Amino acid sequence: MLPLPSVEGVRLATLEDLHRISIVAAAAFFWSPTFRFQRPRHGEFPSDTIASYWADYKAAITDPACAVLVAEDVLEEDEANDIYEALRFAYRPNPPRQKGIVGVCSLSLKPNSHYIGHVQPESKPIGALGSDTTNSITLHLDLSPQYEGHHLKRDQCAVALEIYNRCTGPAKLKHLGGKMRLSTLAVAPSYWRRGHATRLVNFCTQLADLDDATLGVSATPNGQHVVEKAGFQEREITHVKRTLAHEQQTCEGRLDTAEVMLW
Ligand SMILES: CC(C)(COP(=O)(O)OP(=O)(O)OC[C@H]1O[C@@H](n2cnc3c(N)ncnc32)[C@H](O)[C@@H]1OP(=O)(O)O)[C@@H](O)C(=O)NCCC(=O)NCCS
């Protein structure tokens, strides 16, 4: 068993966490310019937003070359008040002093990493869910039928995604290719400025040291504050601009962000 970093309040995510991870990611990324750029119809189709994070994080949790980490805290009873209106339906009032997930981050390991297959969550015995009692990772549990297989992506703009990938692809390849990569970092608004992102990044940098890997990140302006403080050095800034053709094609002028900067 390879050693894993130990950071207070941070642990590997499990498939049972997927619902909470998805709504925390949606609530946080709403504040990222990338989200506004790629998901201009998030207000109309919040279930599609949740479902897409569900699918992305499920894929990462079950991918032996990736890791998903969560940060936990005591949940605010009225945290839904800090969430954008369309997403509030997914929140229930929390009982006092209940602990839960408030932040999430995902990373992909460097190619040929010793840690491939060693950063998966511990499996829940399948017997606990009424099947047999093997301890294999429960990859195919259908834990939330309302999001499973719900890949309509009506909140997203395919042209915006294409522009985003075209603009950022070369810089990502140049600076992040062959490295361990911090892919996503999100903390729900009620829990900002409590050090959760810093602790998640700290887990990743410790893992990079253990794995003898260089850790890279493509960050938005909010994330820049955190990664700069964690000691990352800026390599390139990419501007992603919407075009008139883009507006006229599919997004019907719904974009509220004209420019996205990436670190
Ligand atoms: C960016 C984000 C992850 C930060 O989460 P967080 O838990 O609040 O971050 P931390 O508490 O660890 O903050 C670490 C430091 O970053 C800086 N920082 C964080 N948020 C900041 C902000 N909004 N403005 C200025 N500095 C900020 C501060 O220096 C802070 O340290 P301090 O509170 O001791 O001054 C969170 O705001 C978020 O999820 N935003 C939306 C999604 C996003 O943009 N993700 C980044 C993608 S790379």
CA-CA distance, 224 to 77, in Å (whole number)?
29
CATH classification at residue 56: 3.40.630.30
**In ligand 1, which atom is closest to the CA atom of 221?**
44
- Look at ligand 1, atom 22, and give the residue with the nearest C-alpha: 222
Q: Which atom of ligand 1 is nearest to the CA of 200?
A: 12
pLDDT for 127: 38
The pLDDT of residue 136 is 36
Q: Where are the beta strands (DSSP E) in 59-121?
A: 66-74, 99-108
Mean pLDDT for all residues in the chain: 85
Query: How confident is the model at residue 150, as a pLDDT?
Result: 63
3-state secondary structure of 190: helix
If one counts every other C-beta atom within 10 angstroms of the C-beta of residue 135, the result is: 11
- The reply to whether 38 falls in a domain is yes
Determine the pLDDT at residue 262: 44
Taking the C-alpha atoms of residue 142 and residue 16, their distance in angstroms, rounded to an integer, is 10
Q: Is the CB of 61 under 6 A from ligand 1?
A: no
Put residue 178 in one of left, alpha, beta given phi > 0 → left and psi -120 to 50 → alpha: left
- The reply to whether 70 falls in a domain is yes
Domain interval for residue 223 = 10-121+148-262
Please give the distance, rounded to the nearest whole angstrom, from the Cα atom of residue 65 to the centre of ligand 1. 26
Q: How many Å apart are CA 147 and CA 144, to the nearest integer?
A: 6
- Give me the residue label for tokens 């692809």: 169
Q: Ligand 1 in contact with 222 (CB < 6 A)?
A: yes
- Whether 221 is in the pocket of ligand 1, judged by its Cβ within 6 Å, is no
Torsion of CA 124, 184, 44, 48, to 10 degrees: -40
Q: How many domains does the chain have?
A: 1
Other Cβ atoms closer than 10 A to 85:
9
- Residue 127 included in any domain: no
Q: Distance (Å, rounded) from C-alpha 34 to C-alpha 28?
A: 12
For ligand 1, the distance from its centroid to the CA atom of residue 104, given in whole angstroms, is: 13
Structure tokens at 152: 């309509």
Residue 17 lies inside a defined structural domain of this protein: yes
Ligand 1 pocket test, candidate residues 69, 192, 203, 215, most atoms within 8 A of CB: 192
- C-beta 28 within 6 A of ligand 1: yes
Residue 62 confidence (pLDDT)? 94
Token pair of 2, please? 């390879």
Ligand 1 centre distance from Cα of residue 8 (Å): 18
48 CA from centroid of ligand 1 (Å): 26
Q: How far is the CA of 58 from the centre of ligand 1 (A)?
A: 25
In a domain, 80, yes or no: yes
Residue 189: the pLDDT is: 97
Please work out whether the CB of residue 97 comes within 6 Å of at least one atom of ligand 1.
no
Is the CB–ligand 1 distance for residue 219 below 6 Å?
Answer: yes
Whether 31 is in the pocket of ligand 1, judged by its Cβ within 6 Å, is: yes
**For residue 154, is it within any domain?**
yes
pLDDT of residue 121: 83
Q: 5 in a domain, yes or no? A: no
Residue 4 covered by a domain: no
Residues of the chain with pLDDT under 50: 125-143, 253, 255-263
